[in-house]
Amino acid sequence: MLTLHFAPGSSSMAVHIALHEIGASFEAKPMSFRAKDMQATDYLKLNPEGKVPTLVIDGRPLTEVAAILFYLARRFPAAELLPGDIEAEAQTLSWMSFIAATLHPARRQGLDHARAVYAIADKRLGAMWTLGEHYSIADIHLFRLYWRLFNSLKPVPGTFPNLDAHYARMMARPAVAKTIAIETAIGYELPG
């Protein structure tokens, strides 16, 4: 039994997309920043940092987007969200480490810094998926971060051409459309 604790539009969106890509059945538990749901005593037992996402697997909590995406990709191999060979798998982890450690905190370090690190991501991405021809969990992770930047800071078109093309390819995926429709219907209340 899988249970996803998520808040619309937040980091948890990547896991929500992956669950829809895989077609796994799961219980969805929407959380509210405004209501401070992440600070509730029961939730802090699952995620002591008071953040989303948390995926509860048969009663056991798993936190951190990268780890949850990795778990889902390995548990549901038929979805092919992780490449088979060891070097490509390591490249996936390399991307997700970069996304979590460098892209995610970038906006808090100022606009110039954010522009600089997204320019690195744009250059590194190239013309297709993060791993070239193979669509993977790293694309889902990257998309959620760029989706946030794209819709909040609204970078001038052409600033990040590869990220813009990646964004368009991701938006065309049914799992992404489904996730956005569900999360929009619940309502976004993203922290600043």
Ligand X SMILES: N[C@@H](CCC(=O)N[C@@H](CS)C(=O)NCC(=O)O)C(=O)O
Q: Which residues bind ligand X (CB under 6 A)?
A: 10-11, 33, 38, 50-53, 64-65, 100, 191
Nearer CB in complex with ligand X: 38/140: 38
CB nearer ligand X, residue 44 or residue 120 = 44
Taking CB positions, which residue lies at the least distance from ligand X? 51
Closest CA relative to residue 5, chosen from 136, 189, 44: 44
Comparing CB distances to ligand X, the nearer of 57 and 128 is 57
Residues 85, 86, 88, 90: what is their CA dihedral angle, to the nearest 10 degrees?
160
Query: 40 or 126: whose CB is closer to ligand X?
Result: 40
CB of 179 vs ligand X, minimal distance in Å: 15
- List the alpha helices (DSSP H) in the chain: 13-22, 41-46, 65-75, 86-98, 111-125, 137-152, 161-171, 174-186
CB of 157 vs ligand X, minimal distance in Å: 25
The CA distance from 62 to 78, in Å, is: 21
Q: How far is the CB of 11 from ligand X (least distance, A)?
A: 4
For residue 30, give the nearest of 56, 4, 11, 51 by alpha carbon. 4
Nearer to ligand X, 93 or 165 (CB): 93
Least separation in angstroms between residue 178's CB and ligand X is: 20
- Two tokens, residue 132: 């070239």
The tokens for 169 are: 């390819």
Give me the least distance between CB of 68 and ligand X, in Å please.
8
